[in-house]
Each structure stands twice: as structure tokens, then as C-alpha cells.
């Protein structure tokens, strides 16, 4: 029997890579990333696609290669902390294109196959998708939009039995979080944050849920709260 198919974006980042490693135990995984060095050492059998999620031609190529998909995990994101006062048009365009439009467009392309497989779509959100993050207006707006997208998709695709979930990790030890701390000059203590592998286990829980179950929203937070994002 052939393996189920999974597509994971952001495979070169901390969470995305951990999700690829976990799902590759049971799925044929298509891993999407921008840089070849970021996906070095992935297990044999993982199909790597290198490109920019904002490029429609790249998304078309991925959709054609993956075919009918059982699981789509939209994990790619960028998130420089930028206030409204400091934001420029390019900042808005970059974050909204990567964090909202790209996952929407990839999901649209894979939707016929996901419907056929009664599949699962996972959007990796954030605490910023439900609460304001001071000094980070652009990222917060993008994550609010992503959650809204997921909520509408869940309703629209209910007749096709498509499962749609937003998993909202708290602060996680990833390159994006380290970069944000470096930008603001805040202390970085990795042991205080979630491990990417823990987020991957949350994704696994959703993917392996019984067929009669739909988990719609999941918050995954550090054991000792850092702040209430």
C-alpha cells in the first residue's frame, strides 16, 4: 500500500524541518524550502522542492509533483518585529505575501486532491493570531489574517470533510525567534522556549486524529509562561 502524501512548507526552518522529520516516518513528504543548505540531511525519500512560495510558477510545479495530498502543513513564515510607525510598504507586502497569500495560494492549488483524500490542512499560526503584540503590527496583522483564512476554509470545505486546523505555538526556539531577539536586543534563553520537535508532535496529534474528529484550534505553549501572547 502506498504511503499517504504530505506537503510541508518552511522545511528549512526550525518548526518546518521538525515537522518534515516526524511526518517522513509515515508519509511521503514533499518539503518546500528556499535554500539548499537548509534542507541538507533530510531523510532519504523526502522530495525537496527549492523555490519561493511567492512565485506562482513554483507553486504550480509543487502541486503537479505532489498530486493528491493527504496532509498540507503551511509552516513557512517571516516575522520581523515592526511597528506601524516604522513599517514601510515593502514590509507589509513581504510579510502578508509570505504569511497569508502564499499559504492560501498553495492550499487552493492542492484543494482538489485534498478534497478527494478528505485530507487535513494545518496552518501554523501564533499567539499573535489572537492577541496584539506590541511593536509588531505587521506580523500580528498577518497572523490574524491567517487564522481568519483557516476559519473560513473550515466552514467552506465542511461538505468535503476537509479538516482544517490552526496550531498556534508560543515562543519556539527557532532561527526566526533568535533573529527577532537580536533585532530588539532582548536576552535569548533557549531553554525557556518550546522545542520545534514539540510543535511537530502537535501536528502529528492532529494528523493522526480519528476520522470522526476535527481539531480546529490548538495552542501549544511553553510549560512556564513567558508572556501572554
CATH of the domain at 199: 3.40.50.720
Greater confidence (224 vs 185) lies with 224
Q: Is residue 50 part of a domain?
A: yes
- Compute the mean pLDDT over every residue in the chain, rounded to the nearest whole number: 91
pLDDT at 132: 84
Q: Is the pLDDT of residue 92 over 80?
A: yes
Q: Is the pLDDT of residue 220 over 80?
A: yes
Distances (CA, A) of 194 to 25, 62, 213: 22, 30, 26
Query: Each residue of 75-91: pLDDT tens digit?
Result: 999 988 899 999 999 99
pLDDT at 229: 44
Q: Is residue 84 part of a domain?
A: yes
Q: Is residue 188 part of a domain?
A: yes
Greater confidence (227 vs 135) lies with 135
By the 8 A CB rule, do 176 and 77 touch?
A: yes
Q: Is residue 225 part of a domain?
A: no
Domain that holds residue 41: 5-220
| Residue 66 CB partners (closer than 8 Å, separation 6+) | 5, 7, 30, 110, 113
Query: Each residue of 12-46: pLDDT tens digit?
Result: 988 999 999 999 999 999 999 999 999 999 999 99
Q: Is residue 227 part of a domain?
A: no
Q: Is residue 229 part of a domain?
A: no
State the average pLDDT over residues 110-139.
93
Query: Each residue of 133-185: pLDDT tens digit?
Result: 889 999 999 999 999 999 999 999 999 999 999 999 878 676 665 665 555 55
Q: Is residue 226 part of a domain?
A: no
Q: Domain total for the chain?
A: 1
| Residue 139 CB partners (closer than 8 Å, separation 6+) | 79, 80, 81, 82, 95, 99, 126, 128, 133
Q: Is residue 228 part of a domain?
A: no
Amino acid at each position: 500500500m502506498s504511503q499517504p502524501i504530505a506537503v510541508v512548507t518552511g522545511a528549512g526552518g526550525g518548526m518546518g524541518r521538525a515537522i518534515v522529520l516526524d511526518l517522513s516516518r509515515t508519509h511521503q513528504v514533499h518539503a518546500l524550502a528556499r535554500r539548499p543548505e537548509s534542507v541538507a540531511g533530510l531523510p532519504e525519500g523526502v522530495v525537496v522542492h527549492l523555490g519561493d512560495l511567492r512565485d506562482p510558477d513554483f507553486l504550480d510545479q509543487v502541486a503537479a509533483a505532489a498530486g493528491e495530498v493527504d496532509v498540507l502543513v503551511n509552516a513557512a513564515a517571516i516575522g520581523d518585529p515592526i511597528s506601524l510607525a516604522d513599517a514601510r510598504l515593502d514590509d507589509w507586502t513581504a510579510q502578508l505575501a509570505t504569511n497569508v497569500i502564499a499559504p492560501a495560494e498553495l492550499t487552493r492549488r492542492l484543494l482538489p486532491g485534498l478534497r478527494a483524500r478528505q485530507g487535513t490542512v494545518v496552518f501554523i499560526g501564533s499567539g499573535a493570531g489572537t492577541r496584539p503584540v506590541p511593536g509588531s503590527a505587521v506580523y500580528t496583522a498577518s497572523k490574524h489574517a491567517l487564522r481568519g483564512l483557516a476559519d473560513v476554509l473550515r466552514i467552506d470545505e465542511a461538505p468535503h470533510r476537509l479538516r482544517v486546523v490552526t496550531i498556534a505555538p508560543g515562543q519556539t526556539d527557532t532561527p526566526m525567534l533568535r533573529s527577532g531577539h537580536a533585532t530588539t536586543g532582548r536576552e535569548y534563553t533557549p531553554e525557556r522556549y518550546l522545542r520545534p520537535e514539540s510543535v511537530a508532535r502537535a501536528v502529528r496529534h492532529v494528523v493522526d486524529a480519528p476520522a470522526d474528529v476535527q481539531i480546529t484550534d490548538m495552542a501549544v505553549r511553553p510549560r512556564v509562561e513567558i508572556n501572554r501572547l
